Every structure is written in C-alpha cells, then in structure tokens.
A and B are shown apart, each in its own frame.
Chain A
C-alpha cells in the first residue's frame, strides 16, 4: 500500500513538473554550435525547467530535411534568408525574425609562418591583407560555395575587397577558381585544419572566430557583408556563377549575414514552446549571451511580414 502511494505521489510530481517545464528542440546553422549548445540552450532549459535539444548542420541541408519532414523541430535558425525560403515554400513557417548578425572575417593561424605578416596587415586599413593572402604557397582554407552560404560569402567578400581597395585580380589570385579543391573543405574539415594549424588562414564568421579565440582580420562594412543598408547600392555590384544540379549556370548575389529564427508549424513541443525560445533569444539575457559569443545585434526587419 505504501509503495502504491509513493508511486502515485511520484507520478503526480513528475506530471506537474512536466506541465510547467518547456522542452525544446532547436535546429540551427552549423556555425552556431557553440552559442546554441553551450550558452543559449542550457540557459533556456534552466529558465524553463525543461530540456534542450540542439542539432546543427549546413543550413540548407537542415532546411531541406525539415521541409521534407524527415526531422522535426520547434525552432529553426538560419544564416541569411536563403535557407528560410525553403521552409516558407514548404508552408512550415509564417515569418522569420532576425535574432543576431555577424560579419565575414579572415582568421589566421597564430603559429603559422605568416602569422606576423597577418598581424601587421590587421593593424593597417589599406587592404594589405589581400597581398598576404595571395602569397604563393600560403595555405588558405574556405568552405565549399556549392553547398555552404559561408563558402559563397567569402567569394563575395574577396570580390568586394579587390574593388574597394582597387586591386583588380586579387580575388582570383587568392582563390584560384571559385571551387578550387586545394582550399575548399567541408565545414568540419576546415575547422579541423584551422585548429590543428594545417592552414595559414581561413574564411570565417567573426562570431565563430571570436568563439574559437583565433586571431583575425576584421573587415570594413563595405566588405564584411553585415550591413543590410549596403546591400542594394554596393554589395549587389558583385556576383559570380556556379553550376546547379542540372549543370546549368546560376548567378549568385549576396545575402545579409543576419541570423533569422522561425517557429515551425509542426513543432513537436507546440508553437508556444517554440515562440518562448525565440522570445528568449530576443530578450536582454539572450542578446547578452549572443554578444558574449562574438555575435552582433540583429539587423534589418523580419522576413515575409
């Protein structure tokens, strides 16, 4: 009898606890792993007394898995509006709000043979880092423009940089082709190379470079793709082409480096739970955590509103 009472009491306790708690499952652009899984996720779980599950991957792949309902999540956070568009077309979201932003940066290996030259170039504001990057034999790493927004963004940044500093041809000298196998890697591979000092420099978002405690060259707004106000009159002056899955050429344009969050209509823990997480990200506490991890404040307006 005593046992039964205990079980009854326990189950009541568990039920009421789970009624108050908010569990959450968040999917996000792969580069956000640190801020989501180590800062925002645990902080939200603690606040709402629930559990947090985070899953990060290339933003486009994640969006497609969500759109085809192969995985479910309460919230999706993408970098640039591109991946969000896939969910919008699938009818899974109504709108998406900006929650943070970042900018392109060039991280360099602090122990590599070019560290000193990069450090000197970082102090000047004359684009001399372009010359350092173009040094023959220097190992530059970036992600693949074919499947990764960051891989596309570094191409735009280099094209803008050669225009801005008046050094025509510099972008091509550095990249050696848009998809040069010698320097394009998958996200994880590039990270492994950068952290183990196997590349001299790598393209990255300022947020992740700061999170990883790497030295980097900060780029002006005209090059770093962070400022939506520069989009029309300046960023859009550059573009490049890639082959799509049918082998046809498609022309790519820049998209602002803003992180957008959306609550999914098929949220397994309910849209209310999803909205609570988005609200938390926009709260003072949430924004402070973003800032601590090297992210900048959200820029521009909501999507599809």
Chain B
C-alpha cells in the first residue's frame, strides 16, 4: 500500500487558509460579546431568509436538475446554446441582474404585464424574493450538478441502455445515485448563493427583508456592531444545510470504499 501523508498538501494550503480566516478571526475580536443582542426585526429577517430560502432551493433543484442532466448527455449545437444561456446569467453581475429583472418582471415590463393581467404582481413580495434567489443561484446549481452527472462513467450508462433501461430509468437508477455526492455539493452551493444574494434582492425585492438587506439596514441605522451580531446568526442558521450535504458526501464515500477495495483484492 502507498503511504500517503497529507502534510505537504496541508502546508501548501496554509496561505489560502490563513487568508480565509483573517476576516472571521477579526469578527470574533470585534464583536462586542457583552452587548450581543439582535436589533429589532433581525429575528424576522432570519425566518424570511431561511424559510423562503428553502422554498427557493426546492424550486432550484426541481427546475435545475433536468437542465443539468440534459446538458451532461447532450451533444451539438443545442447543447452549446443551452450552455451559453446558463453562462450569461452566471456572468451578469447581481446588480445588473436585478435591474434586468425589474425591467422584465416589473408591472409594466413585458413579462410583468402578462402576470399583471392575471392579477399577479412581482413587486417586493415573497414571490419576488424567491424569484430573485432563484435567478441568483440556479446557474451555479446547474453548472455544479452538470459536472456531477458528467462524472458518471459513460460505460455504465451504455450498459444500462444495452440492457434495455429507458432514459428515465437510466437517470433515476444510474445517474442520480452515482452523481449523488456531486449533487449534494451543488445543493450546498445553491443554498449559500441564494442566502447571500444581495445585489439582485436590493433592486428587485427589497421586501420581505431577508438577512442581507437587514445587514444593510443595520449598518445604516445602528452601525457595524449590529452587522456583526446578525452575521453570527446568519452563520448559525445557514451553516447546517451545507454541512449536512458535506456529511452526506463523506458517508457516501465511506460506504462505497470497502466494496471497491474488496473488488480490488479479488
């Protein structure tokens, strides 16, 4: 067996890790722990960010998975076109994306006026907030999930097809379980992206006020100390989901490993 020591990689990681830690070590130092209390409305912001964030995440997974899978299987011009369609919102800075959403989904916009005829308005309401998070996080989810699907060995899918499995069966029985660890990471990425979304939200859905907008308001009204407190709560409430995703990936890897080693021995 080859003995692998992680130490050299860890040494090389130190510059990056130290840089990442600097702002948060500072946060620990500058937080006024004795005056640690939420500003009025902070609790509400936490509930909105996590509650509506979960709804956005579900919509992102439901609508994003087919796109990601299709992209991983498709070839040719259609694939390039879809790739570009996903890349463009990924490259558009959030602020510009917010302005585009206002222009498109505002009450007099081309898409918004259609909705207005049905009596639906996307101005500063929960639906607008969810839509802002969806636009912010979906391209990231598709990109990460597509890589996860693409990592599934083609030979396995080919074998499935020769044995007569339908596309849906190949997706459900082969791609989905084999890509699960990568998909969990994609979900974690989409979640942090949706929760942290400020640029789109500040332009398109200022209400209901989630944590990023409340951070901005706390700065305006009470100064940086109120920002530090709410940031701690944001981390406390939003870390569990990505941590659970990573734990799932690790458990998944552990469960697979013994089998692989066994087959290697044989």
Contact = CB atoms under 8 A, between A and B. Distances in A.
Contacts of B245: none
Given A192-B99, A198-B107, A185 B124 contact: yes
Residue from the set A60, A148, A182, A192 with the largest chain B CB neighbour count within 10 Å: A192
B219 interface: yes
Interface of B: 39-41, 95, 98-99, 102-103, 106-109, 112, 121, 123-125, 202-204, 206-208, 213, 216-224, 226
A112 interface: yes
A166 interface: no
A192 B102 CA distance: 7
B218 A144 contact: no
Contacts of A181: 124-125, 206-208
Given A67-B223, A181-B124, A182-B124, A189 B207 contact: no
A190 to B, nearest CB: 9
Nearest to B204: A189
B108 A112 contact: yes
Given A64-B223, A196-B109, A245 B125 contact: no
A267 B107 CA distance: 46
A67 B219 CA distance: 12
Contact of B202 (A65, A186, A197, A198): A186
A285 to B, nearest CB: 33
Interface of A: 58, 60-61, 64-65, 67-68, 70, 112, 139, 144, 146-148, 181-182, 184-186, 188-189, 192-193, 196-198, 243-247
Contacts, number: 93
A65 B219 CA distance: 8
Contacts of B222: 64, 245
Main DSSP-derived SS at the B contact region:
helix
A189 B98 contact: yes
Contact of B206 (A58, A65, A70, A185): A185
B95 A64 contact: no
A245 B221 contact: yes
A182 B125 CA distance: 8
Given A182-B124, A244-B40, A245-B226, A193 B106 contact: yes
B203 A192 contact: yes
B165 to A, nearest CB: 49
Contacts of A139: 107-108, 123
A198 B109 CA distance: 7
Contacts of A60: 220-221
B124 A184 contact: yes
Contacts of B123: 139, 182
Contact of A196 (B103, B207, B213, B223): B103
